[in-house]
Amino acid sequence: MTNPAAISTEPVDQADLDQEVIRRVLSGSRDAFEVLIVRYSDPLYRHALGMTGSPDVAEDILQQSFIKAYQHLSEVRGRFDAWVFRIVANACKDWLKNIRRTHVSYDEDDQPSSYSTPDEELDRNELRTDLEVALAALAPSLREAFVMKHVEGRSYEEMAELLGTTVGALKMRVHRAREALQHLLEEKYA
């Protein structure tokens, strides 16, 4: 699977560019922070969307995370993208652990439909809802691993670097998540 999110496969000098932007922000140029928002918001938004299933919640998590990152910007050591990813990832896991959700799904907004026929759209909406329900049944750490692997298309090595854990541990989480999803969905779809 390809990896369009590709936070950590950016060229090395991207980290230097980020550091330069951070230096400008810390020396009082608040507007420079927008460069970092534009540069990293899409993969972070997709992670939050995959984790929460709700565009509204994903937007809120993104906003709170960037504000938190701005307020603690002087604490960044190393790569900004990995650092801010962990802020978003933690916010998502906290949300999953704390919230008692009613039904939410990532088709609740007004994104234009890309399906060719109403029947196809209906089928896809049903699958989407079922997939969301199945993902919601996973523990946050399993869902996180599954989303990073199968939605964001990251390699195990990249995931390990971003989450600060081992490749073996992440494989275990992905395998558990796959087996759980397969168990939950195969009766209806396989």
Partner 1 sequence: MMFDDLNTPGGHETPSGAGIPARGGIPRGSEGAQPAPLADREVPLPGAAPSLLHQWLDGDVSTAIFRATPGGNEAVDLWNKIHDEAETLRSRTTPLYVHKRIMDALPDDKYRENRPWYKRPVAMNPALIALAAAVLLGLGAIIARAVLH
Site for partner 1 in 162-181 (CB under 8 A): 163-166, 168-169, 171-176, 178-181
CB of 157 to partner 1, least distance (A): 13
CB of 55 to partner 1, least distance (A): 8
Site mask for partner 1 (CB under 8 A), range 26-55, x = bound: xxxxxx-xx--xx--xx-xxx--xx----x
What token pair was written down for 151? 């939605």
What token pair was written down for 172? 């275990």
152 binds partner 1 (CB under 8 A): yes
What's the CA gap between 118 and 148, in Å, rounded? 30
By the 10 Å C-beta count (0-12 exposed, 13-18 middle, 19+ buried), 88 is classed as buried
CB of 2 to partner 1, least distance (A): 9
What's the CA gap between 168 and 188, in Å, rounded? 31
Distance from CA of residue 21 to its chain's centroid?
Answer: 23
Residues 54-73 that bind partner 1 (CB under 8 A): 55, 59, 62-63, 65-68, 70-73
Among 18, 79, 154, 158, binds partner 1 (CB under 8 A): 79
Residues 83-112 that bind partner 1 (CB under 8 A): 83, 86-87, 89-91, 93-94, 106, 111
Of 17 and 184, which CB lies nearer to partner 1 in the complex structure?
184
What's the CA gap between 162 and 133, in Å, rounded? 26
